[in-house]
Amino acid sequence: MKHGKSFTDGATIKECLVITAEEMAATENISNISLSRSAVTGRVEGIGDDLKLLLESLCTRFVCFSLALDESNDIVDTT
């Protein structure tokens, strides 16, 4: 991310949405969206929950699978 902030920063997300909306000529609706830290966190957690359920339902049909994991670092390179 350009600002080095997490996705729980609603102001940064709103800024991205406004830029996108300007390209699509729909700024009135986007600029009125409330993106508080708790709202963004809740939405991201909801997406994660949906993906988990989808993966669990798909796993029942797998014949075999492999799992690759990678370490994640924050903006100051802390694991």
* CA torsion through residues 19, 40, 33, 9, sign: negative
Question: Do residues 75 and 48 make contact, with C-beta atoms less than 8 angstroms apart?
Answer: no
Q: Is the pLDDT of residue 1 over 50?
A: no
Predicted TM-score of the model (pTM): 0.45
Are 35 and 16 in contact by the 8 Å Cβ rule? The answer is: no
pLDDT at residue 54, rounded to an integer = 92
pLDDT at 7: 59
Structure confidence at residue 27 (pLDDT): 55
Mean pLDDT of 54-77: 84
Tens of pLDDT, residue by residue over 8-62, are 667 777 787 778 777 777 556 666 677 778 888 888 899 899 999 998 998 888 8
